[in-house]
Amino acid sequence: MDANSVPLPDKEFTLEELDNELLLYHPAKTTTVYMNQTASIIWRLCDGERTVNEIISLIKDSYPEADSGVEKDVEATLQMFSDHGAITL
């Protein structure tokens, strides 16, 4: 994944909470992606302006104790979003 690419979100996807679960949902495609709290933060950071590297840096700054695996976790989450059509890289 190119660290300088800017994830562009599909604005049709919405983040919803249902029965204490976080879901990324696209009504027309009937696509639902189950997410944890960190994935929902990454989704919110995909604003069409931040690069992958900037998102990784923000997560690292917010969770310094988890520094060792943050880059791979963020990239895996972005790839999952891309695989579901929620973002374009």
Q: Residue 55 is part of a domain; what is its CATH number?
A: 1.10.10.1150
**Is residue 46, in this structure, part of any structural domain at all?**
yes
DSSP secondary structure of 19-88:
TTEEEEEETTTTEEEEE-HHHHHHHHH-SSSS-HHHHHHHHHHH-GGGGGGHHHHHHHHHHHHHHTTSEE
**Is residue 64, in this structure, part of any structural domain at all?**
yes
Q: For the whole model, what pTM was predicted?
A: 0.90
**Is residue 23, in this structure, part of any structural domain at all?**
yes
Express each pLDDT in 14-33 by its tens digit. 999 888 889 999 989 888 89
**Is residue 6, in this structure, part of any structural domain at all?**
no
> Number of structural domains, the chain?
1
**Is residue 8, in this structure, part of any structural domain at all?**
no
Domain of 78 in residue numbering reads as 14-88
- The whole-chain average pLDDT of the chain stands at 92
**Is residue 2, in this structure, part of any structural domain at all?**
no
Written as six digits, the tokens of 32 are 């639902």
